[in-house]
Amino acid sequence: MKKVFINGCGVISAQKTFDNKAFLEEVITYNDRVMPVVNPVYKDFISGGAARRMALGVKMGVVASNIAMQDAQLDSVDAIITGTGMGCLIDSEKFLSKLIDNNEEFLTPTSFIQSTHNTVGGQIALGIQCKGYNFTYVHSGASFESALLDAQLQLSSGEEENILVGGVDENAPHTVKIHQLIGFVKEENTDTSSLLESNTSGAIFGEGAGFFALSTTQQESSYAQVIAIETLNTISKKNLEKRIISFLEESGSNVSEIDAVILGNNGDVDFDGYYNLLSEGVFADTQQVYYKHLCGEYNTASSFGFWLGAKVLKTQSIPDVVKLNQKQTKTLKTILLYNQYRGENHSFTLLKQC
Amino acid sequence: MNKGVAITGMGIISAIGNNVEENYNSLISGNKGISRISKIDTVHKNAIMVGEIAFTDKELEEQLGIPPDNNYSRTALLGLVAAKEAIKNANILDITAHKTGLISATSVGGMDRTEKYYYDYLESDAHRKYIEGHHAGDSTQKIAEELGIKESLVTTISTACSSAANAIMYGARLIKSGKLDRVVVGGADCLSKFTINGFKTLMILSDTYNTPFDENRKGLNLGEAAAFLVLESDALVAKENKKVLAYVKGYGNANDAYHQTASSENGDGATLAMEKALKVANLKPEAIDYINAHGTATGNNDLSEGRAIIRVFKDAVPDFSSTKPYTGHTLAAAGGIEAVYSILALQNNVVFPNLNFTTPMKEFAIRPQVQIKEKELNTVLSNSLGFGGNCSTVIFSK
């Protein structure tokens, strides 16, 4: 079994994370129900024409993957594996609303073509002329982890050497509006600096892209090692702790080895209970970290958490803004990530210092 | 020696039958499932033909015993019918007895409900229950729940028209790596106005019966379907003395990296996918007895795929046919239903005919098999090619 390293990151989010030299030294707070992304200058990476044609999700995905490859000093990869919970919503809405408004007349193919779930993966391949394996996982809150697990299997078995893996989701107006109507988005504007004290239902919706160059070769730019990933479609609160312990055991680790746990709390009183169970239980004495007050909730928000874990291990530091409690951590060697969305699609990811 | 990953069950619902047996009977008797559309009120109804499943949503719900206040999309209903048949066929009595996962595939997801209630959602709360069912993973979560798959690996793949082939590929990988003992793999897609109009704008919908690999082909017929296979580890097959229907012997996925929707002129992606699959299967091209081609009957696909087949098989192209004249192009489900057809071909030693073919293409000399043909089959190769340059090949063997 070969080791799997994170050699490059490219993250576009509601913070200025696309700059790999920075690490949350400056943080933007929002008082809203939806968070937009801080856009890089897309034209620095892709042609102005392409930047105008592409919807935000495609643009973010292509540029984030570009940044990750630069970070890992790669010109090409063997495979591209993408996760997206909702797919290309902007073009889907554009095509569908025109279809309905004009009673199926006067439609043009552009937005249909770009509405397909695998548009981002296809466009990245087209851009770097990668003819290798190209998969897109579309499984709600476990989309990014599904992609990650696939990549890890192929790298550790030695089938491939370098894989670009990422998560991307974009907001679109109609989708946000109808998710407000069913309470998935918070009813009131909420201050992100006190997100977990909101005591209200729903989440602040976000969007973003997080792409990573994973490799079987360690190099100077390496951030961390990916040890194991597990996704579970359901889990009862009763079994959560037990499953985490067995996941750690199967991965050759244990609870006492975990130097920090990165949790996906999004301030939704109806579902944060899963995280609280761990932060008040098995990881009560562990350094706890959260991040959705920085990036918002979206199906692939956990790619932001993955970036955070990689960055913490590389820099051996945890920014105060993501600390959920204050514990003394001498060295940071092992990090566990746990995420779920609305009580479904739970994922555990284990990272280690290189 | 690589004998592949065992297939122990299969299930299907398509325009030519509501289960495996009905599909087989239609295949050997040449019964097409292509007709005018009846369940979707579209302005294009007289300009297109489709492969529609006869049951209404309500009939499907009743058959499945799902309460009327459900929020299933038609994709989820069709998927559940096929997945249940596959589990039954594999004789699985206790799904929790072994580490069992589900990998499904869809491109339409809950779009059928979204397009119906798009503005209605804003006006009234009558149909808001469907909002949660829009995303592509929803049908998979529902199928897992109904099958009793809990606390397990469940995911969804969406790579347009190659999706279900990729679900089979990933499932086989998970069994080989020991991550799972057993996995249900396949896909489901229902017809929707969204896809009908999308393909209409691309001008690749035929106004009559689709004619794959024919010089005068006019485009595809969309279809709806669902199909699932059950894959099991060798250890589990041995332990439970399971009957093996066939093996997933090889698989390959590659990207054409040419255009978002069109295939490259020489079928680079499809060639790579077939070559990779042969390599994984450790087989030479001459070992393939039959190719179930993607063969959508669009000008672009059949030319590109045909050229790719010639590149891989040179002057010894095996019998090949597209079964899309029977079912229409069922998008994300296509790789699943054609996997079932490939297994049926192996089990019955029969090559299914490429219906509606009359005039050979002028670009090359290869011709599809147009009559039903009985011969000993040991290995069948199935292609699925999609938007985003996605090309997949799965090889099935006895």
pLDDT of residue A337: 98
Non-local CB neighbours of A323 within 8 Å, separated by 6+ positions? A287, A288, A289
3-state per-residue secondary structure call for B263-332: CCCCCHHHHHHHHHHHHHHCCCHHHCCEEECCCCCCHHHHHHHHHHHHHHHCCCCCEEECCHHHHCECHH
- Write down which residue in B240, B271, B287 finishes a domain: B240
Nearest CA distance, B65 vs chain A (angstrom): 22
Instruction: Pull the structure tokens for residue A78.
Output: 């063997």
**Exposed e or buried b per residue across A311-322, where buried means at least 16 C-beta atoms within 10 angstroms of its C-beta:** bbbbeeebbebb
Position A230, amino acid: E
Nearest to A166 by CA among A260, A240, A64, A256: A64
C-alpha B264/C-alpha B251 separation (Å) is: 21
B230 and B277, same domain (yes or no): no
User: In which domain, by residue range, is B86 found?
Assistant: 5-240
B189 and B224, same domain (yes or no): yes
Residue B277 pLDDT > 70: yes
Question: What's the sign of the alpha-carbon dihedral B265, B266, B272, B273?
Answer: positive
B292 and B259, same domain (yes or no): yes
Residue B61 pLDDT > 80: yes
**Disruptive mutation site among A107, A112, A143, A155 for chain B (greatest number of B CBs within 10 Å):** A112
Convert the pLDDT of each residue in A122-149 to its tens digit.
Answer: 999 999 999 999 999 999 999 999 999 9
By the CB < 8 Å criterion, does B152 face chain A? yes
Nearest CA distance, A31 vs chain B (angstrom): 25
- Note whether A146 and B155 are within 8 A (CB): yes
Instruction: Pull the structure tokens for residue A190.
Output: 């909420």
Alpha helices in A35-182 (DSSP H): 48-53, 56-71, 89-101, 109-113, 119-128, 143-156, 173-181
DSSP 8-state code for residue B254: E
Q: Which of B118, B160, B386 sits opposite A100 (nearest CB)?
A: B118
B197 and B318, same domain (yes or no): no
Which pTM does this prediction carry? 0.98
B70 and B183, same domain (yes or no): yes
B230 and B355, same domain (yes or no): no
- Write down which residue in B240, B261, B286 finishes a domain: B240
B42 contacts in chain A (CB < 8 Å)? 104
Residue at token pair 């040991």: B378
**Disruptive mutation site among B37, B71, B103, B158 for chain A (greatest number of A CBs within 10 Å):** B158
C-alpha A21/C-alpha A279 separation (Å) is: 31
pLDDT of residue A8: 98
C-alpha B319/C-alpha B300 separation (Å) is: 21
B152 and B64, same domain (yes or no): yes
Convert the pLDDT of each residue in A221-253 to its tens digit.
Answer: 999 999 999 999 999 999 999 999 999 999 999
Q: Which of A140, A178, A345 sits opposite B131 (nearest CB)?
A: A178
Q: Which of A153, A174, A177 sits opposite B173 (nearest CB)?
A: A153
Domain count, chain B: 2
Strand, coil or helix: A22: coil
pLDDT of residue B252: 98
CATH number for the domain that contains residue B15 = 3.40.47.10
Beta strand A224-232 pairing with A5-12: antiparallel
B293 and B386, same domain (yes or no): yes
B179 and B303, same domain (yes or no): no
Residue B159 pLDDT > 70: yes
Question: What residues of chain A, 106 to 135, have a C-beta less than 8 Å from chain B?
Answer: 107-109, 112-119, 121-123, 125-126, 129-135
Say if the Cβ atoms of B137 and A87 lie within 8 Å.
no
B217 and B360, same domain (yes or no): no
Nearest to A212 by CA among A221, A201, A203, A202: A221
Domains and CATH numbers, chain A: 5-215 (3.40.47.10), 225-352 (3.40.47.10)
User: For the complex shown, is ipTM > 0.95?
Assistant: yes
Q: What is the mean pLDDT of chain A?
A: 97
A92 contacts in chain B (CB < 8 Å)? 194
- Write down which residue in B240, B263, B285 finishes a domain: B240
- Note whether A321 and A294 are within 8 A (CB): yes
**Disruptive mutation site among B37, B141, B255 for chain A (greatest number of A CBs within 10 Å):** B255
B125 contacts in chain A (CB < 8 Å)? 181
Say if the Cβ atoms of B260 and A122 lie within 8 Å.
yes
A246 contacts in chain B (CB < 8 Å)? none
pLDDT of residue B138: 98
Instruction: Pull the structure tokens for residue A131.
Output: 């003819």
B99 and B43, same domain (yes or no): yes
Which residue numbers of B are catalytic? Answer: 161, 294, 329
B150 and B219, same domain (yes or no): yes
- Note whether A180 and A144 are within 8 A (CB): no
Convert the pLDDT of each residue in B64-107 to its tens digit.
Answer: 999 999 999 999 999 999 999 999 999 999 999 999 999 999 99
Beta strand A224-232 pairing with A344-352: antiparallel
Nearest CA distance, A201 vs chain B (angstrom): 16
Say if the Cβ atoms of A233 and B388 lie within 8 Å.
no
Nearest CA distance, A146 vs chain B (angstrom): 7
pLDDT of residue B3: 78
By the CB < 8 Å criterion, does A171 face chain B? no
B261 pLDDT tier (thresholds 50, 70, 90): confident
